[in-house]
Amino acid sequence: MSKTKIDFATLPWQQTQRGARFKSPTREGKQFRLLELTSEFVEPDWCLKSHAGYVVEGEMEITFADRTENLRAAMGFSYAAATGNGI
């Protein structure tokens, strides 16, 4: 196993909840995740957790209390967890 490369194609998919599955290797204490979401996926607590990602293909919409972010392929995102004063 390479310590520098992650071959997601060789990893099995894991089901997390309806409309979502992922591949999630860990290297040197850091977790990586390839996540596939469908229109059936709903996450009511996006703003309660920090997230960063990159949209490989398709489109993605994230709805916060004060706005909706629309993302498409080749766009990245990064946001911190909500602190009570918004994001």
At 42-65, the pLDDT tens digits run 877 766 778 888 999 999 888 877
Co-location of 22 and 48 in the same domain: no
- CA 54/CA 51 separation, integer angstroms: 10
Q: For position 43, what pLDDT does the model report?
A: 78
Domain that holds residue 66: 44-82
Same domain, 49 and 72: yes
CB 60 within 8 A of CB 37: yes
For residue 14, the surrounding DSSP H or E stretch is strand 14-17
In this structure, is residue 13 part of a structural domain? yes
Q: Is the pTM of this model over 0.85?
A: no
CA–CA distance, 55 with 18 (Å, rounded to integer)? 19
